Each structure stands twice: as C-alpha cells, then as structure tokens.
Structure 1
C-alpha cells in the first residue's frame, strides 16, 4: 500500500521539530526540564499502552544498549514477538523501534504520528509547559507500536539517567542496571553515588534488579534503594558470574590480502546464575566488556525462565550467535581493518583501547576523532593518543553539539604537550575529508579507528556502508 514520501517526511519533521535534548549540550538544560508528569499525561491520553506490554527496563552508563539487544535477540530466538527500544539511532530514526529485529515501517510510523499529533495539539494548549519533547514522543511511539503489534515483551533502554527518563513510567518484569561511570555529570551529578542514585531511580517496588555494577560506593546506593523498595538485588560476581571463556577470539584468520582480523563468532562464555550453569554461550560483539554484558543478559533470561517463560539453552545460543549491534567496536572493513565505535566517555574509551590491544596486531594505527560538547574530551584524548601513530581530527555535520575542529586541535596539542605524545596530527573539517586523508596515510600494517561520539560513528558508517550492515571484505582503502 505504501505511504507518500511527503507524508513520511512530515511525520519526521513533526517529531524532530519538538524540543530535542539529544541536539543540545547538557549545560543548556537541567533536571527541571524532565517531567515524568508530562510523559504520564501523554500516555494517559493514549490509553497507557506501556501497561499492556511486559517490559524489561534497562539503565546504565555504558553497555545498556548491548545488553538490551542481547536480551531481545534471545527472546526473539525463542519464538517470542519482542520489541526493542534504543537510542540514539545510527543511520535512520526507525532503528530506535524494532520488533524481532525489524524496524518500524514507514506506513506504521506515519499512522502512529497522526494519532500522536491529535493528542499533542491538545496537550500543547494546556498551561504549565505541557509540550511533550522529541524523546517523550519517540518513547510513546515505541509503546504504541509494541502494543498495536501485540508483542510478548518490550525491552526498553533508558535514554538518559533513569529517575526522570521518559521510559520510567512502566511496570517492568525486571529492572537492569548495567554499570556506572562518569557521564552527563552536569545533569546526573559529579560523584558515583549521585549518578548511581539517578540510575537507580528506575527500581520499582518488589521488582527484581540485576546489575553489573562493581564499585563499592555504587553498590551501597543500589543496595539501599533495593531495600527501600523491597526488591531483590542480583549482583555480578556475587549472585551470577562468568566462570570460563574460550580465548579463540584472540586467534586470527588470514584474509586474502594477508591482513589480519579477529576470527568471527569465536567468543564463548560459561555463565553461572542462581539457578543454572549455562555453557558455550556465544558472544559475537568484540571486547571483554561485552562478555560482562552477555553474562548479565543471560542471567536476566534465566530468571525469566524461572517465571515459567519457556526458553531453551539452544534458543538462547541461537539468539546470541546472530546478534549484530552497529557501531559498537564494529569491524566495517577488513582490508585494512576499520573499526567504528560510539565511545564517548572515559570508561567506553578504555574498553575500546583494551579491545584493540587484545584483538588487533596492526602497529600503524590511525584515529579519526570528533567529539561532542560537554564531554570530558581531555580524558578521552589522554586515553587514546598513546595508541595511535596518526590522529585525524574532524567534526561531524549532523548535530550542533559538535566541538569545532579548531577547538579539538587546541585540546589535542595541550594533551600532547602535557604527556609528551608525538602522534602526527591531521586536521579536517568533515568526516568525508577525514576518510580521504586516512586513505593517504595507510600502509599494509594499518588499522583505522573512528570514535569519539555517536554522531561521528554514524556519519562515517553511512559513508562507508550506506544502509547495509555487510562488512566490506574485498574493497581496500
């Protein structure tokens, strides 16, 4: 039947025309801008679809997206119709709202936005600044879609923080807090305790909590909040753990051009939960941190099995074996290796560097780096610079939160002066120009890594792959 390109674009224009905090630096807003009452009233007008869908609710500083997609894929492989809501998107808006891995269709999006517009027009007339934001409307769209499509489960990733996030109006089956580190400190707080308390705001009365948090100060907050809510708390390395793993992922397969890349689908872990011992669970995403995310995801699924939700080990393995998660230490080209990652804080940069060190032997490393305002760019550069011989600084084009490349140059030179780093600097004004310069400096023993923000990852990924997820195997730089 189809929908006209004009109607589709009008729907997107309506959504992106709302106040959009993803396009603003955190210095431009505060917790007073986030109002769950506004989100609840929006959902009330829509019939509260969030209460009609069994939900797994997931927060955390990093790893929440990977953990969400792992849980969703295992449920889908077991035959359950599973919705997945994540943010931000890499290539297109529809990536945020999936059912069994399939994006919401343009016809469905237009239909749901038409329903939303009628409600929003009435809310906009109310006193007290009721105007729903871009993310609130997107979250509502996800629940509307999942409800109309009769999903069995919805896996909902928190957008920012937890306590005041627009996803935090559901009644979940399970609550997950992946981990805690410093990010969005202007909004969430500048201590681990403060940030943990914001993330722990998704904990509900009597709902079990599964967490990969390890810092003592964060654990103390989680324990306190769980006791207040009479919620059982299951912790990594106390109640569930990874007992063993194969190290086949460090073995290398030989490509036709003699470049070396990590063998695919070769990480396998053994997970001990409070109820089971699960062997040979594949993890297709690169990095030791993904083994931790997988341990958490498998434990959540095993808990659901204890609630009489039928899932077999083989189905869990099947879901994990076919999992893809774009721009999360993603190998997008093999000759030479090109890695794209969305790392944008110290903890995620450390995970990226550790993975490159463990899995890629190339000695001539080229970094393409762009960053977002209000991030700790000095920390990121301090972690990255020692591991790259050439650093190409640039700026993404799709979002006004970008740091101008001239400012990045000053920060990088300041870091080099402080640390004695001698990486070659190349300055460009766009991702396309950065990629062109990268191709000039490559050798047979090169690796390219693109990182610093979601936006540079998205723009470079689209430049290389377009809309496909297929790795470029034969096309060299």
Structure 2
C-alpha cells in the first residue's frame, strides 16, 4: 500500500458506532499490547485552546530533553500533522507501517468477533499510541477530539489532566447545555492525578471541582494558584516569573496553563529556556500571519467563543478596514457567530468541498444579503485579496478546514 491509499482507507471508515463507549478502542489497544500505557501522557481538553496548549506543552517537554509525542486534531494542511514526535510529523512510510500494524490487529480480533471494526477517529488514536510506543517516547501530549469522558483518547491515566476552557460547541454531541459539556469534559480527571484549569466560566466551575474532589485530584486554577497578564508582553507568575512575546489574550491563558502543567511534571529549566520554548512555538492555523502588508491572518476559529476572541484581538491590534473570508460548517451556531460582526466589517462567504460545509442558503439571511458569496474558496480568497488597501486586514476564519484549504492552495497543493 502507499500513503494515499492509507489516508483514503482511514478517512472512509465509519464515523459512529451504534454505542458510544470505549470498548472498541480498548479492544484494539489490548491487541496492540496497550501502547498507551508504555508512554507517560498529558491529557488536554477544552472548548478552545486545547490545540495551542498541546503545542506549548510539547515544546516545553522537548526543551527538557524528553522525546515527546504529540497527537492533535484536526490537521491543517496534511494528515501527518496529527501525529508528531519531537515536532516532526509522522513520515509517509511510518504511517503506512502503523496502518498495517493496526489493520493486522483488527484482522486478528475478527477471527473471534467478525463484526468488529473501528471508526475513523479510533483508528487514528490507536495508530498514534502505537507510534509513540514504537518510537519509545518519554511523554506524549494527547489532545482530546470532542468532549472528554466518551472521547476515544480517554483510555489513559495521564500524569496531568488539563481543561483549558468550557464553552458552547458540539452541543448536539456533548450538550445541549454548557453544564452538560462541563460534565463530559470532566471525564478526563483521573484519580490522584493533578488537574490544571484555565479560563473556566463560574457557572460550571463547581462541576469540575466536584469531580476533582471525588477523584482526589489536586486542582490548580488560572487566577488562583498561577496568574498571567497580557500588556505589552505576556507576564506569567506562580513560584516562577516569565515574560513572553505578546500574543492574543486567549493565547496567554494557554501559555499559562501549559506552564503550570509542565511544572507539575517536576522538570526545572533555566528561565531563558522556558521563554524560548514558548516564544518559538508556532501553532498552525492559529493567528497565523500569511502576509504583512496588507496584513492577512488565518485562524481556524469555528465557534462563538473562539470567533469572539479573534474579533477582539484583530479590532484592537489592526487599523484600516477589516475584511473576513469565512467558511463554516452548517452544524455550528451560525446565527450567534455572525451576530458578533459589525456592520462596517466586510464579509465574503465561501465553502470547501466537504459534506458538512455550509452553503449560501445555510448562512443567516441578513448575512447573505450584506455579504458576497463565492462558492470556490480559491476564487474567494483572490477576490478578497485584490480589494485590500495597504493598511487593511484580511482574516480567513470559520473553520480549520477552510484555513487548511487556503494554506494548501498557497503552497500549490
């Protein structure tokens, strides 16, 4: 088999089982000799910020001399980004090898259980854990897919659990209320293992603290045991004090959470090494600058909380006209998201060729009326870019799928 065949086979697996539990992933991991237990892990969930936090943690661990795996989703430009070791994507050949390992394990299980199969995300999780054990990683930072308790990554006993934020997203799967979402995300809290909390709304904080008490998990909260400020720089302090290059406010929360989680692992690094690890971290599809003049930014914000944070940042730190190229999934809270935009902000709507991608008719009627719709995202990007003045800003946002498509287009892929 070649790389492309492997990707097509993984992505064409079913996406749901009849029952939403962890029995399938546990069965395949057992057949693979439980690779998830052979590497120390940090488990990261949250409505927003879990990807950024995972990247920061990975870089800190590498700076400490640890061979570090990283599992994140979704990928931005290429599938291989989802599984990394020491900042390097899994190679095409390693992906083929891992696919064969997991496929052989499925074949062996089917001898006793002919109907056994994995959904796409389970296959990816099993492949990642196999790869981290195969590469003899010291640590692996594991980003949750959706939720927590029922997420297919929730088969580990991590050294530290991290919950970055709680907000509304994926309500049809883990909602509908923010309290339901908090209960689901609290499922990664493990017995006698520390928990780091980021910017958690007060109306769900007690849900997480109650679960932590039940599990005898010590809790470290942003704003209490550790603090961060964002002015001309980012300032972090608990028992240590660090200064970092300015990033958006929400990124300062992710930096703070990753630093606290890292400190709980017992590593000690010189101040300059910590600051370098954070400042040098580049997070794909997060406030990613594609052009300086005029300013073009790509950010995969795809829910109310993330879009609100993005708008606050670009309005504060840019001048000139704001232009937005937006493509979203039709199952998102489109009405609420577009209510965040101001009348003088120019919006071009687009879509990628993906079943969940919103078409023109899916967007709120008032947004359809005031916005231009160009179905081909490449044409939409070129149109948006052509109309920029030197001091204007174009923001490509609404989904990681759109961001990834535009980035690949710019790379000629």
Q: Which TM bucket (shorter chain)?
A: over 0.9
* Mapped pair 1:380 → 2:337: yes
Q: How does the TM-score come out when normalised to structure 1? A: 0.83
User: Deviation digits for residues 453-475 of structure 1, max 9, x if unmatched?
Assistant: 111111112222457xxxxxxxx
The answer to whether the 8 Å contact 1:245/1:269 transfers is yes
Q: Please list, as runs of the form range in 1=range in 2, the aligned pairs for 1:4-403 lying within 5 A after superposition.
A: 7-20=2-15, 33-124=19-110, 130-242=116-228, 244-247=229-232, 267-272=233-238, 276-280=239-243, 282-283=244-245, 286-305=247-266, 309-362=267-320, 364-386=321-343, 388=345, 390-397=346-353, 399-403=354-358
Q: Cα deviation per residue 1:267-318 (whole Å; 9 max; x = unaligned)?
A: 332322xxx12222x246x31110111111111111212xxx3433332222
Shift of 1:365: 1.6
- How far the C-alpha of 1:100 sits from its partner, in A, is 1.1
Deviation at 1:433, TM superposition (A): 1.4
Relative to structure 1, the CA distance from residue 303 to residue 386 in structure 2 (aligned partners, 3 Å threshold; closer, same or farther) is farther
Shift in alpha-carbon separation, 1:192–1:241, aligned structure 2, 3 A: same
Cα distance in 1, alignment partners of residues 219 and 392 from structure 2: 45
- Map Cα deviations across residues 151-203 of structure 1 (whole Å, 9 max, x no partner): 11100000000001111001110000111000011111122211100000111
- Aligned-residue CA RMSD (Å): 1.9
SS in 2 for 1:394: strand
1:354 alignment partner, SS class: helix
Bigger mean CA deviation after superposition, 171-180 or 210-219 = 210-219
Residues 409 and 442 of structure 1, relative CA distance in 2, 3 Å threshold: farther
The DSSP-based 3-state class of the residue aligned with 2:172 is: helix
Q: Normalised by the size of structure 2, how large is the TM-score?
A: 0.95
Secondary structure in 1 matching 2:265: helix
Cα deviation digits, residues 405-432 of structure 1 (max 9, x gap): 233263614xx7xxxxxxx521211111
Work out whether residues 188 and 195 of structure 1, in 8 Å CA contact, stay in contact via their aligned partners in 2: yes
Q: Distance in 2 between matches of 1:164 and 1:128?
A: 24
**Secondary structure at 1:393 match in 2:** strand
Please list the CA deviations of residues 201-259 of structure 1 after superposition, one character each: whole Å capped at 9, or x if unmatched: 111111110011432221110111011111111111112112x4441xxxxxxxxxxxx
Answer whether contact 2:385 2:394 (CA < 8 A) is retained. Answer: no
Q: How many residues align?
A: 413
Q: Structure 1: any 5+ residue segments left out of the alignment? A: 1-5, 22-28, 248-266, 417-423, 468-477
Q: Where does residue 257 of structure 1 map in the other structure?
A: none
- Is contact 1:340-1:449 (8 Å) kept? yes
Match of 1:326, SS state, is coil
Deviations 1:22-69 (A, max 9, x none): xxxxxxx8xx64320111001000000000000000011000000010
The SS at the match of 2:165 is: coil
User: How far apart are the structure 2 equivalents of 1:315 and 1:431?
Assistant: 41
CA distance in 1, matches of 2:366, 2:117: 38
Alignment of 1:426-445 (within 5 A): 426-445=372-391
User: 1:459 is matched with which residue: 390, 393, 405?
Assistant: 405
2:41 and 2:103 map into 1 onto residues whose CA distance is 25
Q: Provide closer, same or farther for how the CA distance between residues 466 and 163 of structure 1 changes in structure 2, counting only shifts above 3 A.
A: farther
Matched residues in 2 for 1:38 and 1:317: separation?
41
Match of 1:470 in 2: none
Given that residues 78 and 312 in structure 1 are in contact (C-alpha distance below 8 angstroms), is that contact kept between their aligned partners in structure 2?
Answer: no
Q: CA separation in 1, counterparts of 2:14 and 2:245?
A: 38
